[in-house]
Amino acid sequence: MAGMTPAGMGIAPVVTAAGQDLSDADIMLRVKAGDSAAFDYLVQKYRRPLVSFMYRMARNSAVAEDLAQEVFLRVYRSRNTYEPSAKFTTWLYRIATNLAVNHARDTRYERPEVSVSLDEPDEETGTTFELRDGKLTAEQEMVRRERLQAIRSKVEALPERQRTAVIMHKYQQMDYKQIAEVLKLSESATKSLLFRAYETLREQLKDFI
């Protein structure tokens, strides 16, 4: 997409004429008004988190890139009807979640990507990968990878909404309120959803943690 800046480049803040930082919702309103630089800013800011989220939902790096691209396309296509009735990230992750869930349903019988020498996307960048820690022995490295694989498989096996909530909470560092808004649940329902998910994971992973 035109305007997408390569990962790793700095993000210049968007400010008003008075020098005050704008909120993401304000920046999206600029996109609505036809400011292409404002859209570029949002792409730069949220590309990596979205690729990370999509990778954890789809378990395929190429698909994650494609789905993140589709999110931004939908954001751009929706610019004329955008209204800041919810936090921008809530609106953004609703689009992303719907896309990811629909993709998962459409491809549920396809074999997921198998990672050999690469592991999870980095928690902070979402695009780099964790390589072997040189401080670990071969046996420790094998145990570590076995544990990560067990966690991945059990998270993937959770019911759809629980899995989505865990990914948002554990890997995207979203709080209960944010997750509730994205999933259109109450905070108490979200807490219960995550409690059930983590209880299931603790029970199934008791031999690994």
pLDDT, one tens digit per residue, over 7-64 is 333 455 555 544 457 899 999 999 999 999 999 999 999 999 999 999 988 888 999 9
Three-state SS sequence of the chain: CCCCCCCCCCCCCCECCCCCECCHHHHHHHHHCCCHHHHHHHHHHHHHHHHHHHHHHHCCHHHHHHHHHHHHHHHHHCHHHCCCCCCHHHHHHHHHHHHHHHHHHHCCCCCCCCCCCCCCECCCCCCCECCCCCCCCHHHHHHHHHHHHHHHHHHHCCCHHHHHHHHHHHHCCCCHHHHHHHHCCCHHHHHHHHHHHHHHHHHHCCCCC
CB atoms within 10 A of CB 137: 8
CA distance 168 to 85: 21
The pTM for the full model equals 0.72
Q: What is the pLDDT of residue 124?
A: 34
Q: How many CB atoms lie within 10 A of CB 123?
A: 12
Question: How many residues can be counted in the chain?
Answer: 209
Tell me: the pLDDT tens digits for 104-159? Answer: 887 765 545 444 333 344 333 333 333 344 576 777 777 777 777 788 888 888 99
pLDDT digits (tens, 9 = 90+) for 59-117: 889 999 999 999 999 999 999 999 998 899 999 999 999 999 898 887 765 545 444 33
Can you list the domains of the chain with their CATH numbers? Answer: 13-108+119-130 (1.10.1740.10), 132-209 (1.10.10.10)
pLDDT by residue (tens digit) across 162-186? 999 999 998 888 999 999 999 999 9
Q: Answer whether 27's CB lies under 8 Å from 20's CB.
A: no
Share the mean pLDDT of the chain.
80
Q: Are 88 and 23 in contact (CB under 8 A)?
A: yes
